[in-house]
Amino acid sequence: MDRPSESLVVNPLFYDALSGDFYANKSIFQQPHTLGRLSIECFQDGSVIESEHIENGSSALITVEFIPSWALEVTAVTQASKINSNLGQPSARLHGISLIHEDGKSIRISEETVTKDPPSHTLEIESTEMIFFRAPLTLKSVGFLRTYVTSSTQEFFDNIR
């Protein structure tokens, strides 16, 4: 399968919310990871598994999967939409990342645009282990959301070990 040819664009507040440290295993040599870095690595080094056109045909949703070397039983999946770039190179905007364990447990963290003018966004978390969560993604809320995303991700990894 092919790698995406687009450059990845990420809302800075969404990336901030994905930037808390979590640990994928309980060894004495714990290395911290973040969903922000994993999202970038997945999109750059993963394989495109789906590229579907959305309604008007001018936009496409790109789904990329990747298995991180530090969690071989987990598949990371990012979704991004192709966007027009004024830099002349193809770009895609990150919408979310999912972690799927081989036993079926999963968690998805995504960003949704509520309004475009003025821009308004929400952060959503869905998991097989918890209730759906949605909150406004703002400069004031991003610290709390980073903590919540990090604890939800850590809980996911703690529950698969």
| 95-152 pLDDT per residue, tens | 999 999 999 999 999 999 888 778 899 999 999 977 789 999 999 999 999 999 999 9
Is 83 within the bounds of a domain? yes
Contact (CB, 8 A) for 136 and 151: no
Domain-embedded: residue 2: no
pTM to 2 decimal places = 0.89
Number of structural domains the chain divides into: 1
Contact by Cβ (8 Å): 66, 47: yes
What residue numbers bound the domain in which 73 lies? Answer: 7-160
Q: Is residue 1 part of a domain?
A: no
Which tokens is 11 given?
């809302």
What pLDDT, on a 0 to 100 scale, did the predictor assign at position 28?
Answer: 63
Helix (H, G, I), strand (E, B) or coil at 76: strand
Tell me, what's the pLDDT at 125?
A: 95
29 assigned to some structural domain: yes
Place of tokens 């939800």: 152
pLDDT value of position 53: 59
Each as own residue / partner, the long-range contacts of residues 28-37 (CB below 8 Å, 24 or more positions apart, any chain) are 31/70, 33/68, 33/70, 35/97, 35/109, 35/149, 35/153, 36/10
- Rg (alpha carbons) of the chain, rounded to whole number: 16
pLDDT exceeding 90 applies to what percent of the chain?
63
75 is a domain residue: yes
Pairing of strands 91-101, 7-9: parallel
**Ranges 7-16, 80-89, 122-131, most confident:** 7-16
Distance of CA 97 to the CA centre of its chain: 2
